Chain A
Amino acid sequence: MMSELSRLTIAEARDRLRKAEITAVELAEACLSEIEAAEPLNAFVTTTAEKALDQARAADARLRAGDAPAMCGIPVGVKDLFCTEGVRSQAASFILNGFLPPYESTVTRQLWESGAVMLGKLNMDEFAMGSSNETSVYGPAVNPWRRQGDDTALTPGGSSGGSAAAVAAGLCLAATGTDTGGSIRQPAAFTGIVGLKPTYGRCSRWGIIAFASSLDQAGPMTRTVRDAAIMLGAMAGHDPMDSTSADVPVPDFEAALTGDIRGKRIGIPREYRMDGMPAEIEALWQKGAEMLRDAGAEVVDISLPHTKYALPAYYVIAPAEASSNLARYDGVRYGHRAKLGPGDGVTEMYEKTRAEGFGAEVKRRVMIGTYVLSAGFYDAYYNRARKVRALIKRDFDQVFDAGIDAILTPTTPSSAFPIGAMADADPVQMYLNDVFTVTVNLAGLPGISVPAGLDAAGLPLGLQLIGRPWAEGDLLNVAGVIEKAAAFEAAPQVWWRS
Chain B
Amino acid sequence: MSIDLETARRVAHLARIAVDDDDLPALAGEFNRILGFIEQLNEVDVKGVEPMTSVTPMRLKRRPDVVTDGGYPEKILANAPDAREGFFAVPKVVE
Contacts and interface: CB of A to CB of B under 8 A. Distances in A.
B67 interface: no
Contacts of B66: none
A332 B83 CA distance: 9
A81 B36 CA distance: 31
A214 B55 contact: yes
Secondary structure at the A interface, as helix, strand, loop or mixed, is helix
Interface in A329-372: 330-337, 340, 344-352, 354-355, 358, 363-364, 366-372
Interface stretch (A25-33, A225-233, A240-248): A240-248
A370 B91 contact: no
Contact of B16 (A100, A311, A351, A372): A351
Nearest to A243: B60
B17 A355 contact: yes
Interface residues of A, number: 75
B38 A381 contact: yes
A239 to B, nearest CB: 11
Contacts of B14: 370, 374
A344 B19 CA distance: 16
A308 B40 contact: yes
Interface size range of chain B in the complex: 35 or more
Interface string A419-440: 0000000111001000000000
A334 B74 CA distance: 13
Interface string B39-64: 11111101001111111101011010
Contacts, number: 169
Nearest to B15: A370
A427 B16 contact: no
A351 B18 CA distance: 5
Contacts of A374: 11, 14
A334 B76 CA distance: 9
A46 interface: no
A385 interface: yes
Given A246-B58, A358-B17, A390 B91 contact: no
Given A349-B91, A368-B34, A309 B40 contact: yes
Contact of B58 (A201, A308, A371, A389): A201
Contacts of A390: 49-52
Contacts of A98: 79
Contact of B51 (A333, A346, A383, A469): A383
Interface in B8-39: 11-19, 27, 30-31, 33-35, 37-39
A9 B63 CA distance: 42
Nearest to B82: A337
Contacts of A364: 27, 30, 34
B53 to A, nearest CB: 8
Nearest to B17: A354
Contact of A337 (B18, B19, B44, B81): B81
Contact of A99 (B12, B39, B79): B79
A323 B79 contact: no
A189 to B, nearest CB: 23
A367 B78 contact: no
Contact of A316 (B16, B27, B38, B82): B38
B17 A312 contact: no
Contacts of B50: 387, 390
Nearest to B47: A387
Contacts of B43: 309
A388 interface: yes
Given A308-B40, A345-B92, A354 B49 contact: no
A285 interface: no
Contacts of B11: 367, 370-371, 374
Interface string A63-77: 000000000000000
A332 B81 CA distance: 7
Given A332-B90, A346-B90, A102 B44 contact: no
Nearest to A470: B56
Interface string A308-322: 110111011000000
A199 interface: yes
A497 interface: no
A334 B80 contact: yes
A59 interface: no
A349 B90 contact: yes
A345 B93 contact: yes
Nearest to A445: B55
Q: Which 10 A-B pairs have the closest CB atoms?
A: A444-B55, A386-B51, A334-B79, A337-B81, A355-B18, A351-B18, A387-B46, A350-B16, A370-B15, A390-B52
10 contacts: A200-B56, A243-B61, A316-B38, A332-B81, A332-B90, A334-B81, A345-B93, A367-B11, A384-B41, A391-B46
Interface of B: 1, 3, 7, 11-19, 27, 30-31, 33-35, 37-44, 46, 49-56, 58, 60-61, 63, 72, 75-76, 78-82, 88, 90-93
Given A349-B90, A355-B18, A374-B14, 12 more contacts: A200-B56, A309-B41, A312-B40, A346-B91, A346-B93, A364-B30, A386-B52, A388-B44, A427-B34, A428-B37, A444-B56, A469-B56
